[in-house]
């Protein structure tokens, strides 16, 4: 079941490439959207059949490279199921959004379907090497998306993105090999490694392994100071690429912390939790401050990702605090972290798609070039305002549910760090209000660079169809979050139990 879900998009991608050259673009788009919708439906079925209290489910285990301790092992639990759903939702939104894309549609669709395989694969992998393979293939896929369909400076941005994140993944591989060597019998299987806790009592070795894995995941997340690939990649990537990059690919980093670093290296994670918390606070404040100074709309959203991912880092660091704090608070923090991954995926996905719509109309992301476009595009304005307020953590949207849990759960164990971190939601409020004011409100002014299409139209049907579901889901999670939290909570308690060993 899971394997079909993971590899189906690639199969369709191959099929697309095998279609005759003259296949009309409409057919290709149709196949793409239908596939993404089918995957979405499959995930819904998966979710419906999932038993929240049942631990790892839909497991498949097969021999792959037994001589090296590598196996094909996939499964889902409360950490991965929301990520699977998020992945499918975002890829579907991007498929719909790209309805008007006319540059090499066949390759674009095939690439996105391949990317979907890699993303789903990362979230279901229960073997380190399998995880690593999907993790790296996602980088390759995104490289081609940026290099092939990006803006002016795409070649450099794609190269920078690839080299930086690839270097990070090499660190990750080093850490994985460290784990492999420490375990007896040698294995890359995540479930076995988690059960064995191979590095218990070997602080020095474990510290080095955590450092390697930590750097690898920190580059992907990204945390300060490993984030500088992010703004460039985002400003040059096409809108759908940015949405996937920020919405799904970044989550691989934080997901890795929850899936690999915390359960397999509990002692050393607890030992270095303070470092993690400090990194989290730096990400939150630094990311928000740098975002506040941007004049490029897309770059600003990119930096808010650093800020939003910082809340996750804070939460997973605070959850590791020692026994004097309650399990209730820790579980809130971890649940909040996973909720934040979902929430950030939905909202930043929506924001990047909207930024793409802005670029298509004005051919620039420079906020100073626009003013008062609410007069021309009220729906566009309304959507962006909703996405911005949701992103700044307004109650009624998913961001609040996530951030409230993170703050409330982290304050007890880490009062000072959390008190500093709440300033982050103030800074994000400031920067989003400023952006709304600059671009959408005030007297009308449009950029008039040569080549700009003069009439500034409101959102078209395909853009609406892509963005509205993302915002609607954010509202659903924000008002009736139980359907999501019921899945996440048992998993976060399980992570905490593993961490407390």
- The distance of closest approach from Cβ of residue 275 to other proteins in the complex, given in angstroms and rounded to an integer, is 19
430 lies in the site for other proteins, by CB under 8 A: yes
From candidates 5, 407, 471, 495, binder to other proteins by CB under 8 A: 407
Determine phi and psi for 142, rounding to 5 degrees. Answer: -70, -30
170 lies in the site for other proteins, by CB under 8 A: no
Radius of gyration of the chain (CA): 22
Nearer to other proteins, 187 or 335 (CB): 335
394 lies in the site for other proteins, by CB under 8 A: yes
Size of the site for other proteins (CB under 8 A): 62
Choose among 272, 241, 245: nearest CA to 257. Answer: 272
Site string for other proteins, 101-140 (x = CB under 8 A): ----------------------------------------
3-state SS assignment for residue 168:
helix
Site string for other proteins, 214-233 (x = CB under 8 A): ----------xx--xx----
Do 82 and 342 meet the contact criterion of CB atoms below 8 Å apart?
Answer: yes
Nearer to other proteins, 427 or 499 (CB): 427
Nearer to other proteins, 442 or 447 (CB): 442
411 lies in the site for other proteins, by CB under 8 A: yes
What does the alpha-carbon distance between residue 401 and residue 335 come to, in Å, rounded to a whole number? 10
Residues 332-391 that bind other proteins (CB under 8 A): 332, 335, 372, 374-375, 378-379, 382, 389
- The distance of closest approach from Cβ of residue 385 to other proteins in the complex, given in angstroms and rounded to an integer, is 8
From candidates 58, 123, 400, 456, binder to other proteins by CB under 8 A: 400
- Tokens 């605090």 belong to 321
Nearer to other proteins, 25 or 379 (CB): 379
Residues sharing a CB contact under 8 Å with residue 439, sequence separation 6 or more, in sequence order: 297, 358, 367, 370, 371, 373, 384
Q: Which stretch binds other proteins (CB under 8 A): 21-29, 50-58, 352-360, 392-400?
A: 392-400
Question: Per-residue b/e over 38-70, b at no fewer than 16 CB within 10 Å?
Answer: bbbebbeebbeeeebeeebbbeeeeeeeeeebb
From candidates 221, 325, 340, 384, binder to other proteins by CB under 8 A: 325
Residues sharing a CB contact under 8 Å with residue 500, sequence separation 6 or more, in sequence order: 266, 323
293 lies in the site for other proteins, by CB under 8 A: yes
Do 401 and 339 meet the contact criterion of CB atoms below 8 Å apart?
Answer: yes
**Which DSSP state fits 246?**
I
From candidates 278, 433, 446, 476, binder to other proteins by CB under 8 A: 433
Nearer to other proteins, 44 or 426 (CB): 426
Which pair of tokens denotes residue 448? 């008039």
Residues 471-490 that bind other proteins (CB under 8 A): 481-482, 485, 489
What does the alpha-carbon distance between residue 414 and residue 475 come to, in Å, rounded to a whole number? 29
Nearer to other proteins, 210 or 417 (CB): 417
Concatenate the DSSP letters of all residues of 221-240 into one string: TT-TTS-THHHHHHHHS-HH
Which pair of tokens denotes residue 75? 């499964």
Nearer to other proteins, 345 or 413 (CB): 413
From candidates 434, 452, 460, 462, binder to other proteins by CB under 8 A: 434
Q: Which stretch binds other proteins (CB under 8 A): 47-55, 72-80, 171-179, 412-420?
A: 412-420
The answer to whether the Cα torsion of 180, 186, 187, 191 is positive or negative is: negative
**Which DSSP state fits 66?**
G
Q: Which stretch binds other proteins (CB under 8 A): 72-80, 114-122, 200-208, 328-336?
A: 328-336
Nearer to other proteins, 21 or 152 (CB): 152
Peptide bond into 222 cis (omega under 30): yes
Q: Which stretch binds other proteins (CB under 8 A): 29-37, 85-93, 144-152, 437-445?
A: 437-445
Q: Work out the angle at residue 112's Cα, subtended by the Cα atoms of residues 111 and 116, and round it to the nearest 5 degrees.
A: 120
- The distance of closest approach from Cβ of residue 279 to other proteins in the complex, given in angstroms and rounded to an integer, is 14
457 lies in the site for other proteins, by CB under 8 A: no
- The distance of closest approach from Cβ of residue 212 to other proteins in the complex, given in angstroms and rounded to an integer, is 18
End-to-end CA distance of the chain: 33
Nearer to other proteins, 267 or 489 (CB): 489
Do 191 and 183 meet the contact criterion of CB atoms below 8 Å apart?
Answer: no
Length of the chain in terms of residues written: 501
Concatenate the DSSP letters of all residues of 358-383 into one string: HHHHHS--BGGG-B-GGGT-HHHHHH
Where do contacts with other proteins occur on this chain (CB under 8 A)? Answer: 160, 163-164, 224-225, 228-229, 286, 289-290, 292-294, 325-329, 331-332, 335, 372, 374-375, 378-379, 382, 389, 394-396, 400-401, 404-405, 407-412, 415, 418-419, 422-423, 425-427, 429-430, 433-434, 437, 440-443, 481-482, 485, 489
């Amino acid at each position: 079941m899971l394997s079909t879900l993971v590899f189906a998009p690639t199969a369709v991608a191959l099929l697309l490439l095998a279609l005759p050259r003259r296949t009309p673009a409409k057919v290709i788009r149709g196949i793409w959207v239908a596939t993404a919708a089918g995957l979405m439906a499959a995930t819904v079925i998966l979710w419906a059949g999932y038993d929240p209290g049942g631990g790892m489910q839909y497991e498949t285990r097969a021999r792959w490279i037994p001589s090296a301790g590598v196996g094909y092992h996939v499964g889902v639990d409360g950490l991965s199921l929301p990520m699977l759903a998020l992945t499918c939702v975002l890829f579907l939104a991007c498929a719909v959004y790209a309805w008007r894309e006319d540059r090499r549609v066949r390759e674009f669709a095939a690439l996105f379907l391949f990317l979907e395989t890699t993303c789903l694969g990362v979230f279901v992998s229960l073997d380190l090497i399998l995880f690593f393979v999907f993790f790296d293939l996602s980088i390759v896929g995104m490289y081609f998306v940026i290099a092939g369909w990006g803006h002016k400076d795409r070649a450099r941005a794609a190269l920078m993105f690839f080299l930086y994140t690839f270097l990070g993944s090499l660190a990750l591989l080093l850490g994985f090999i460290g784990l492999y060597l420490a375990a007896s019998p040698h294995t890359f299987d995540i479930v076995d490694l988690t059960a064995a806790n191979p590095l218990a009592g070997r602080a020095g070795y474990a510290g080095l392994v955590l450092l390697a894995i930590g750097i690898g995941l920190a580059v992907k997340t990204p945390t300060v100071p490993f984030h500088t690939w992010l703004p460039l990649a985002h400003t040059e990537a096409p809108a759908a690429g940015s949405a996937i990059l920020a919405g799904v690919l970044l989550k691989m980093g934080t997901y890795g912390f929850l899936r690999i670093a915390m359960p397999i290296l509990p002692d050393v994670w607890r030992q270095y939790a303070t470092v993690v918390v400090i990194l989290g606070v730096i990400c939150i404040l630094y990311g928000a401050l740098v975002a506040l100074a941007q004049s490029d709309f897309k770059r600003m959203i990119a930096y808010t990702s650093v800020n939003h991912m910082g809340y996750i880092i804070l939460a997973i660091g605070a959850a590791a605090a020692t026994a004097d704090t309650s399990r209730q608070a820790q579980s809130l923090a971890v649940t909040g972290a996973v909720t934040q991954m979902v929430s950030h995926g939905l909202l930043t996905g929506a924001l990047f798609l909207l930024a793409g719509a802005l670029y298509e109309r004005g051919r620039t992301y420079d906020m100073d070039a626009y003013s008062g476009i609410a007069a021309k595009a009220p729906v566009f304005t309304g959507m962006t305002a909703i996405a911005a307020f949701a992103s700044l953590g307004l109650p009624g949207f998913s961001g609040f549910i996530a951030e409230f849990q993170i703050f409330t759960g982290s304050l007890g164990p880490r009062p000072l760090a959390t008190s500093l971190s709440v300033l982050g939601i103030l800074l994000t409020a400031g920067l989003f209000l400023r952006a709304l004011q600059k671009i959408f409100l005030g007297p009308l002014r449009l950029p008039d660079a040569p080549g700009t299409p003069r009439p500034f139209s409101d959102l078209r049907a395909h853009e609406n169809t892509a963005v509205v579901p993302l915002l609607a889901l954010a509202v659903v999670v924000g008002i009736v979050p139980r359907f999501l939290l019921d899945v996440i909570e048992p998993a976060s308690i399980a992570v905490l139990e593993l961490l407390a060993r």
